[in-house]
A and B are shown apart, each in its own frame.
Chain A
């Protein structure tokens, strides 16, 4: 059977790739997609731990993560549409309205 550490390692690799997308890319759309990747790697860890320790709570929290992700994407894409309508840019570096 597959050891638990393999699933954790897959979660680590996907997390690092998603963090690279968030930190290195300058396109807001790709940054949002990398955020989804981060949340999915965390979901893999939740379900793997829950499976190997015979606990249902991992799955419960994965369901919550998925639900909150849906809400987050709806709001983020709404903000994105409003942003593009007002400033017509997709670069994260150009969006400095919140800077003090």
Chain B
């Protein structure tokens, strides 16, 4: 049952990711990206991380994609580039991508380190409690650094988006 669900979510997420790259209109790209994020959050649930799935939906689908749609509607897309996507436009980059994909696929498929099928039994107890304890005890410094980075990004975004008033 898990395999069927995984194949379904993986197929839909790959198709929507292709639509993100291939779509002509940026709004179509944004909506396809939203669908892709929803599939990825479903995959997080399959991986036994429901908290991460909720965070994914809140942050990505709820905040980041709405921000993207706002910006797309704010700037005029009609006069912007609505050019059709030509895959052969940049041949060296295409060849490089093909080599990268083949290399990574070969490395994953040939190695036997990724053939684990059963997850290690997690130690008992509340999962979110363990996650919080690890985050705020062992990773306190990175957490504080991330909060400072978020503050700097907030100030930077306000300064950048403000109209110059002399």
A interface, CB within 8 angstroms of B: 1-10, 12-21, 23-27, 29-30, 32-34, 36-37, 40, 43-44, 47-48, 50-54, 56-57, 59-60, 62-64, 66-75, 77-82, 84-85, 89-91
Q: A3-B115, A75-B156 are in contact. Are A24 and B131 (CB under 8 A)?
A: no
Option from A27, A33, A60, A66 in Cβ contact (under 8 Å) with B135:
A60
Complexed CA–CA distance, A36 and B52 (Å): 16
B87 to chain A: which residues have CB within 8 Å? 24
* Number of residues on chain B facing chain A (CB within 8 A): 85
Partner of A27, one of B18, B80, B157, B160: B80
Residues of A near B146 (CB, < 8 A) are 64, 67-68
Beta-carbon contacts of B22-65 to A below 8 Å, as 1s and 0s?
Answer: 01001001100100110010011011110110011001100110
Residues from chain A with a CB closer than 8 A to the CB of B130 are: 56
Given the complex, which residues of A lie within 8 Å of B3, measured CB to CB? 1-2
A94 (CB) vs chain B CBs: closest residue = B81
Chain B nearest Cβ from A48, distance in angstroms: 6
Q: A36-B60, A74-B154 are in contact. Are A12 and B43 (CB under 8 A)?
A: no
**Is B160 in contact with A79, judged by CB distance below 8 angstroms?**
yes
Using a Cβ cutoff of 8 Å, how many contacts connect chains A and B? 225
Which residue of chain B has the shortest Cβ distance to A82 in the bound complex?
B160
Q: Which of A7, A25, A66 contacts B47 (CB 8 A)?
A: A7
Neighbouring A residues of B94 by C-beta, 8 Å: 20, 24
With contacts A13-B14, A80-B71 taken as known, whether A29 is within 8 angstroms of B149 at the C-beta atoms is no
Name which residue of chain A comes closest to B149, CB basis. A71
Q: What CA separation (Å) do A40 and B33 show in the bound complex?
A: 11
Which are the 6 A-B pairs with shortest beta-carbon distances?
A54-B120, A71-B153, A78-B160, A5-B114, A78-B157, A21-B21
Contact A75 B13 (CB under 8 A): no
Taking CB atoms, residues of chain A closer than 8 Å to B93 are 23-24
Please tell me which one of the listed residues B14, B30, B163 contacts residue A17 in the complex, with CB atoms under 8 A apart.
B14
Contact between A78 and B156, CB atoms less than 8 A apart:
yes
* Chain B residue at minimal CB-CB distance from A16: B101
**A4 proximity list for chain B (CB < 8 A):** 114-117
How far is it, in angstroms, between the C-alpha of A6 and the C-alpha of B9 when the chains are bound?
A: 12
Residues of chain B within 8 A of A81, CB atoms compared: 71, 74-75, 160-161
When A20-B97, A44-B40 are in contact, do A74 and B67 touch as well, CB less than 8 Å?
yes
